[in-house]
Amino acid sequence: MENEYTCAGDIVMLRSGGPWMTVEETEDGEVHCSYFVEGHLEHATFREEALLRLYEAEAAEEPAEVGTDGPGRPGATDD
């Protein structure tokens, strides 16, 4: 079952911060995500309201992640 807000394949982050995560599936307002911590695959479930999608974070001009050149986007420039 898909939510209206997020769907499988979306890239999300907790509104409070943390690693980028991939949405695996959604069901009844819960979002099942996978992400890497120190090279290890982890899984967690969050309420949809607690998550921010990648393009929303870019629109809010989130600080650049380590290893990127722009607001969360590899290869972005400030020219």
Q: What is the pLDDT of residues 14-63, one digit of tens each?
A: 999 999 999 999 999 899 999 999 999 999 999 999 999 987 766 665 55
Per the structure, the count of domains in the chain is 1
Q: What is the mean pLDDT of residues 4-12?
A: 86
Whether 70 is covered by a domain: the verdict is no
Q: How far apart are the first and last CA of the chain?
A: 42
Cα 54 → chain centroid: 5
Whether 50 is covered by a domain: the verdict is yes
Whether 27 is covered by a domain: the verdict is yes
pLDDT band at 6 (very low <50, low <70, confident <90, very high): confident
Checking if the pLDDT of 67 tops 50, the result is no
pTM of the model: 0.66
pLDDT for 58 equals 67
Instruction: Give which of 16, 15, 12, 14 is closest to 24, Cα–Cα.
Output: 12
Strands (E), the chain: 11-14, 21-27, 30-37, 40-47, 51-53
How many residues does the structure list for the chain?
Answer: 79
pLDDT for 54 equals 85
